[in-house]
């Protein structure tokens, strides 16, 4: 099964590899910050509760006010991309140390 193993690092003849690595890291970190920022901003703007059903247990009026976390956070890709982008960084670190991915 493991007979096909590829070095996933792309060949860059024109740019030094340290620069392309830096560009990669900067892109992913910017995307991560955008993801966290969109989560914070959407939650702030709509007074979201992380777990509305749990909050409703404490609220004597029943369901608390606030937007719909299901449609605003749970179903949107830009709020869910964080772990995916962390995976990018993990892959960069593995490949930087001579790892391979197949």
Q: Where do contacts with another protein occur on this chain (CB under 8 A)?
A: 1-2, 5, 32, 35-36, 39-40, 42-44, 47-51, 54-55, 57-58, 69, 73, 79-80, 82-87, 89-90, 93-94, 97-102
Tell me, what DSSP letter sits at residue 6? B
Residue 83 beta carbon to another protein: minimum distance, rounded to whole angstroms: 3
Reduce the DSSP state of residue 79 to 3 states and report it: helix
Let me know: does 48 contact 89? Beta carbons within 8 Å: no
Which lies closer to another protein via its Cβ, residue 16 or residue 50?
A: 50
Beta bridge partners of 6: 101
Residue 45 beta carbon to another protein: minimum distance, rounded to whole angstroms: 10
Which lies closer to another protein via its Cβ, residue 75 or residue 87?
A: 87
Q: With 0-12 CB in 10 A as exposed, 13-18 as middle and 19+ as buried, what is 35?
A: buried
Q: How far apart are CA 67 and CA 74, in angstroms?
A: 12
Residue 18 beta carbon to another protein: minimum distance, rounded to whole angstroms: 16
Residue 101 beta carbon to another protein: minimum distance, rounded to whole angstroms: 6
């Amino acid at each position: 099964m493991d007979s096909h193993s590829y070095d996933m690092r792309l060949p860059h003849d024109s740019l030094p590899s340290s620069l392309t690595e830096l560009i990669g890291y900067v892109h992913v970190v910017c995307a991560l910050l955008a993801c966290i920022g969109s989560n914070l901003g959407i939650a702030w703007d709509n007074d979201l509760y992380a777990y509305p059903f749990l909050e409703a247990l404490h609220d004597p009026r029943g369901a608390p006010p606030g937007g719909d976390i299901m449609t605003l956070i749970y179903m949107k890709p830009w709020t869910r991309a964080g772990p995916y982008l962390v995976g990018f960084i993990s892959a960069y670190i593995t490949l930087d140390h001579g790892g391979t991915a197949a």
